[in-house]
Chains A and B, each alone.
Chain A
Amino acid sequence: MENALLRKPIIEGNEVADRYAKLGLRDNPFPADPALVIGSPDDRLNGSIYCRDLHSRNIDSFRDLLIPTRDRRPVRSLAFLMDHASLRGRGIGKSAFLKHQRDEIMKDLGETASSGSAVLFAAYVVPTASPPCRKFWEFCRLIAHAMCDQGVIAKAMWRLRAMSGAIPAEVLAKIGDSDDWESTIGSDSWLHQHKVDTYFALADPIKATLSKAGVAAEWVEHFANHGASIPNFGNHVLRTQGDSFWRRSGGDWVFGDLVRLFAAAQFTRGILLVDELEKIVYNQNIQERRAFVDALRFYMLDGSHNARVRFYGMLLTIHPGIQEILLPYWKAAGLDRLAPLNQPDAEDITLYFSPLDQQMSMPLVTVYLDHFRASKAKMGTIHPFAKEAVVEALVKSGGVPGRTLRLLHRVVERAVDLGRTTIDKEVVDLVYQSSEPLAAGELVENESMPKGEVNF
């Protein structure tokens, strides 16, 4: 027997699994735990498998509301994404939608989304358990960290470098696509290799531009010295700021200095995609909730530098449960006039996510299956599934994409165990009945109860 201290794993992460070969697949295409995990190496979880057709109507509405176009259609500072899934279970796909919108915008800095008329960035902001997020300064810190970690600040600095005139055109021609920018124009050593002096020739014009834009002197130095590197700026600048900094000047920094930085980098607009707002609201007490909503109005709509130039557009994901909680505070802060949250006034600034229907489920299943096909012969089809099997899974999971994907994961596993080469409705029935509690079906309220069964 081999020494346990020396034994190495024999399972490799990217190994093709024989187990699914009978179904013509390399692996189980559906996630066992369908939740968005940004940065996960598993494509089923990190949001890279995405069915764009599923929410095409919402994508159009999203752009209409928040992205400026050539014809200067007015855009909103605050908009809402309403999660209809709470009535049917989570997993309607809103996080994947937000992540995908961010990726699309950041890929070409909004060129496609705005039809070339604007330079945009988007940051995906999700409240964390640690550090906590209940107060507005904590929310500002969260936004700042998201913009740093997702490379938004760095991209602004790379644009400033590119536009500084200190990098020769032939070097600029070599910086490549957006995926390469961090290792080319964002890397001091790469620039040194191409004979660019980052210490003086590049830093000085950037500092001058930032100073001219009105960025505080202390932050001009920080941005110029560390801003181009995502880890440097995060570790050496942002995370060294204590709570006192964020409490005292977090709002002014995010909605003031940062806006000036982005304006200097000639960004037209920044989109903040705030997910799971309920994680902030549920933890707040009455005073914190009121103060939070007041600060939101001040910094987004009528008090800050951002409000004056209408730079940020914020999409808030509203759980139906918190709509009711927030409404009195929204009204007290006067936000009901500026960005109404109540129905029906909120209709025109809200994106609604509804459950899947039969027509929408087929492309969703196809996109996952195609990603894991062993050969290209069946691309674009739902093979090995029969249509009835997909429909049955959709019905049983209430039309919620997350639940549908999880059920399909189990269906594939069961089909493999049974040695099937195709998957029909019978397998779906078998999976659902054997492990679910005996509780499927809709509840009829105020029903008449069954009669007593004993005759006296």
Chain B
Amino acid sequence: MKPEAPTWATPPSRSYSALGECSLYAEVLHAAEREQCISAPGLMSEEQGLGQRMRRLHLLQVPTKTTITAIVRTIQEFGWLQELPGARGKFLISDPGREIAQEIRTNPKAFRRRLATLLHQRYIVPGWFVSRLHAINPSGQGEVVLPAPPKSEQTERCDWGDNAWASEYEAIAVAAAEQANRAFPGAFPVPTDRWTMELKATWNYLGTLQPPVHRKSKRHPAGSKKIATFGARERLVHAMRETAINLLFGVRLQPESPPDFITSKLPVPPRAFRVWCPRLEELEFIFYSDYHPAISGRLLVPCAGFRDSAPCPPFERLAEVKDPEHRPLWLHQPPWENIKERFVGVLVDSYRWQCKKVGAMYVSLLNVRDEVCRRLRLSSELFDVLLDRAYRDAITNSLSGSKFLSISLESDITGEQSGAVGLNRRPVYINSVPHSLIAIAAAGVK
């Protein structure tokens, strides 16, 4: 008799309101260390408050009270804060909390690892997500694409109830899926008929939902009743994303295979997916990009894997994050000396690929970053560190290899980045300054 496959533990929490950036956790701890006691309203105030923060290239105001309350409660669960006796909602920093606040200052990487372990224990999603990526595309080392329609002009808005499914939508969806599989074989392993059938069903389902905002239709005369409308492209993006998430990260693609969890609930529903991706990227479990030049859609790449053992370096063991078979998670964290030749080789390769595509000498550093991180399974955080080293070594001509390389990095904001979409893309930080353009030239023979 075949033994039943082990399943992941049921997540202790499914609330994702506490999934703020790591920096938010750090700021709350520092505020608790600085002040006598903290509370959610106090953290929102000007005196004690968390202040403005940058997310990508957006300037964010103070987080909402719900987010702050959830984060404070989560930190309390971790044992870093303790509630003031007799004062509900007021917290003091604990002794372990003080040690963590100190660690954040001296070794932020260790804090990220600690937070990753705790978030995995609380949600199970971080480890499961990495494992799931590898399961979706085992031959492609976990590369997964969620297809989206290609960039185009904004379409005309239609009445909310006008739910007709046009054949051109199907063509767009099929083309996006085919493009993904052509660029990254096996990255979207859904049969075409299944994909279009499920997509159409999601499209129809979205039409039956309550419209989010009632807008005045341009087609109706002024003064008439407000009519709810939707943009066809907008809904198609939404439907494709939701369908792909349900198929790949739910249990619907292969209902006959054993479920990952002993629960019928989706481990990562589409709304939570939006929150989890940036968080897992920050924890260096995955790399993802919505702008990879070879495809239209979101590319997800694991930067870690579960194994019994692995060479260290380049892998770093996260012992307390384990899969159901009790194998630990190994993060791909190569040090500079270990990867420099391969890093520079792939960097130059990716740069050349972009040059050919664009026909310019200075090309988008973010596009180059996406390709390098994909090929070398690096987190964007680690890419910044390695590029900084390569840049410095190029200046001092100490890059190994037969040729001197001249690397130029520019911090100009490109046209693409000045748009609303571009502001959502993580910049490459060199010395804390966002950079956006790169040019590489061979500067002669050594």
Contacts and interface: CB of A to CB of B under 8 A. Distances in A.
Contacts of A437: 355, 361, 439-441
Interface residues of A, number: 21
B442 A452 contact: no
A456 B441 contact: no
B285 interface: no
Given A438-B351, A449-B183, A454 B377 contact: yes
B221 to A, nearest CB: 27
Q: How large is the interface on B (under 10, 10 to 19, 20 to 34, 35 or more residues)?
A: 35 or more
B376 A454 contact: yes
Q: Which 6 A-B pairs have the closest CB atoms?
A: A456-B305, A439-B355, A454-B377, A437-B361, A443-B356, A452-B141
Given A449-B294, A452-B143, A456-B307, A435 B375 contact: no
A448 B185 contact: yes
Nearest to A455: B141
Interface in A431-447: 433-439, 441-443, 446-447
Contacts of B349: 450
Nearest to A441: B356
A12 B10 CA distance: 87
A436 B352 CA distance: 11
Nearest to B361: A437
Contacts of B294: 447, 449
A417 interface: no
Given A452-B301, A456-B307, A438 B442 contact: yes
A177 interface: no
Nearest to A438: B352
B interface majority secondary structure: mixed
Interface of A: 433-439, 441-443, 446-456
B376 A439 contact: no
Interface in B143-185: 143, 179, 182-185
A441 B353 CA distance: 10
Contact of B375 (A439, A443, A446, A453): A453
Nearest to A89: B359
Given A449-B294, A451-B140, A456-B134, A435 B183 contact: no
Contacts of B307: 456
B305 A443 contact: no
5 contacts: A434-B444, A435-B441, A437-B441, A438-B351, A449-B371
A389 to B, nearest CB: 20
B302 A453 contact: no
A456 B304 CA distance: 7
B268 interface: no
Interface in B279-323: 294, 301-302, 304-305, 307, 314
B377 A452 contact: yes
A456 B352 contact: no
Contacts of B183: 446-449
B382 interface: no
A433 B357 contact: no
Contact of B361 (A439, A449, A450): A439
Contacts of A449: 183-184, 294, 371, 374
A454 B310 CA distance: 12
B142 interface: yes
Contacts of A442: 356
Contacts of A446: 179, 182-183
B203 interface: no
Given A437-B439, A438-B441, A456 B141 contact: yes
A449 B373 CA distance: 13
Contacts of B245: none
Contacts of B440: 437-438
Nearest to B371: A449
A448 B182 contact: yes
Contacts of A455: 141
Given A435-B441, A437-B441, A439-B352, A453 B182 contact: no
B323 to A, nearest CB: 12
B437 interface: no
A434 B442 CA distance: 6
B342 interface: yes
A446 B375 CA distance: 18
B374 A452 contact: yes
B132 to A, nearest CB: 13
A362 B141 CA distance: 52
B346 interface: yes
B91 interface: no
Contact of B140 (A439, A443, A452): A452
Interface in B394-435: none
Contacts of B346: 453
Contacts of A433: 442
A456 B143 contact: no
Nearest to A454: B377
B25 to A, nearest CB: 28
A402 B66 CA distance: 65
A386 B408 CA distance: 36
Nearest to A442: B356
A451 B185 CA distance: 9
B330 interface: yes
B441 A453 contact: no
A185 to B, nearest CB: 53
A433 B403 CA distance: 11
A68 to B, nearest CB: 44
B332 interface: yes
Nearest to B306: A456
A456 B330 CA distance: 9
B366 interface: no
A368 B165 CA distance: 64
Contacts of A451: 140-141, 375
Given A438-B352, A446-B182, A449-B184, A454 B141 contact: yes
A135 to B, nearest CB: 29
A438 B355 contact: yes
A435 B352 CA distance: 14
B31 interface: no
B375 A456 contact: no
A450 B346 CA distance: 10
A448 B134 CA distance: 20
Residue of A434, A446, A447, A451 ringed by the most chain B CB atoms within 10 A: A451
B348 interface: yes
Interface string B96-136: 00000000000000000000000000000000000000100
Contact of A452 (B330, B356, B375): B375
A456 B143 CA distance: 12
A450 B442 contact: no
Nearest to A453: B375
B188 to A, nearest CB: 14
